[in-house]
Amino acid sequence: MAELGLTTEQLVSRWGREEITHDDLGPWFTFAFALDGGTLAALVREVDNAPSPGYILTAIGEQDPRATLAEFLAESGLTADRVLREGFE
């Protein structure tokens, strides 16, 4: 959905320890959220061999991805200058 320029340390200081989730690629640092509009969102980053710095914002819901990004930024208090790249189709 979008790549945000954030470090694990910044996220831990804001929301506490990350969760470690796993998929076929391996372990991921994960910070999960339920947005007010009902969308489930997470900031994720591969624990080992992340392809780029920062975290990927991903979401599950019916809302337009740009609207979800805007909602996440507003609710989290993060500013749009943290968005490094948007990957909307």
Q: In sequence order, what E strands does 1-89 have?
A: 2-4, 19-23, 26-34, 40-46, 55-60, 83-86
* Residue range 49-58: mean pLDDT, rounded: 89
The pLDDT tens digits for 79-89 are 999 999 998 65
Band the pLDDT of 49: cuts 50, 70, 90: confident
Tokens describing residue 3: 């790549």
**pTM for the predicted model, two decimal places:** 0.90
Listing DSSP states for 3-16 in one string gives EE---HHHHHHHH-
Q: Running DSSP on this structure, what letter comes out for residue 18?
A: P
